[in-house]
Amino acid sequence: MRTEREMASLLNPEDAANILNVSIPYVIRLLEEGEIAHHMVNNQCCIRLDDLMAYKRQQDLRSSQALDDLAQQAQELGIA
């Protein structure tokens, strides 16, 4: 049985979409592809806040790295 604290940290796809600032169908696709850990409870999808935030940190890191790569390419091309 889950504690009240654990239940408070469970999100549905709509809540997750709001936190990530993306659409609900996009979150569902991420869940189906296994990008975000989740489990089903009484036929409802539940996402732990910790799992969602781990995904968000990973995506933020990828975005930052991509931006650094673009800045480096701009420097090399002399357009920055």
Percentage of the chain with pLDDT > 90? 84
* Whole-number pLDDT of residue 73: 94
The reported pLDDT for the residue numbered 2 is 55
Side-chain-facing half-sphere of 49: CA atoms under 13 Å: 8
**At 46, is the secondary structure helix, strand, or coil?**
strand
Q: What is the pLDDT of residue 8?
A: 66
pTM across the whole model: 0.79
| Digit-coded pLDDT (tens) for 7-33 | 569 999 999 999 999 999 999 999 999
pLDDT confidence of residue 4: 55
Give me the pLDDT at residue 74, please. Answer: 92
